[in-house]
Structure 1
């Protein structure tokens, strides 16, 4: 599989919309971003072009309109960003990350139980 390029924060906002639709036009992307940002249509189109140049989205042309679709999955990008974050902020230590979050945020008993279950499942698949 080809390497997935880094996606900027602004590009993530566009990708979230593209991931949630099978194919979507730039007009519809602009419309959906209107409530979330103050970006002008030209800015959104520039972000779309950057994503096209990074080969994370593709397009189909129908008449005069272009419809965009993802070439990489949201899960793949989340994994890449998560790994990058852990490496950059916690020197690659997931343990340090979890300890920091556990100590700084209120975690409910339900969340703790879910995390324990996830860790147990991970342990079974690796061991």
Structure 2
């Protein structure tokens, strides 16, 4: 999978999640519509439009096997998650991970287990 910009909308993320998580890949548009429709009340036409936009953006590829087209991801989920996370931190917290973490720790309920996991991750990062 190529590393590419993952400039995709919230609605497009839903389609991408189907392609990243459903197996086997590639999937026909009918399978994508079926999977998306199980969670969203979107028309098939809307879902087909999202698929087309993702193809144009280079986020998904298409195998043109007659009579069906099959779609598959061209971008890696992990890369897109990291890019979206960085974009969010830059936009909302001016790029400061410290401000983001401090805000979440102060404002959100965090379980003891989550605190232990954060401590473990920070300790590991500190020792790398």
Cα distance in 1, alignment partners of residues 126 and 94 from structure 2 = 22
RMSD: 1.3
For 2:71, what is the secondary structure of its paired residue?
strand
Give the aligned partner of residue 83 of structure 1: 86
Alignment partner of 1:59: what SS? strand
| Corresponding position: 1:105 with 2:108 | yes
- 2:11 is the alignment partner of 1:14: no
Q: Where has structure 1 moved over 3 Å in runs of 4 or more?
A: none
Runs of 5+ in structure 2 lacking a partner?
A: none
- C-alpha separation in 2, matches of 1:33 and 1:122: 37
Moved more, 54-63 or 86-95: 54-63
Partner of 1:42: 45
Cα distance in 2, alignment partners of residues 43 and 34 from structure 1: 11
CA distance in 1, matches of 2:6, 2:105: 30
TM-score calculated relative to the size of structure 2: 0.92
Count of matched residue pairs? 125
Larger relative contact order (Cα-Cα within 8 Å, sequence gap ≥ 6): 2
Which among 64, 67, 76 is matched to residue 67 of structure 2?
64
CA contact (8 A) 2:27 2:70 kept: yes
Cα distance between partner residues in 1 of 2:27 and 2:102:
40
Q: Residues of 1 paired with 2:125 and 2:71: CA distance? A: 36
- Per the alignment, residue 58 of structure 2 pairs with 55
Structure 1 residue 35, shift from structure 2 partner: 2.4
Say yes or no: does 1:27 pair with 2:30: yes
Higher mean alpha-carbon deviation, 75-84 vs 60-69, is at 60-69
Q: What stretches of structure 1 of length at least 5 have no aligned partner? A: none
TM-score normalised by L of structure 1:
0.92
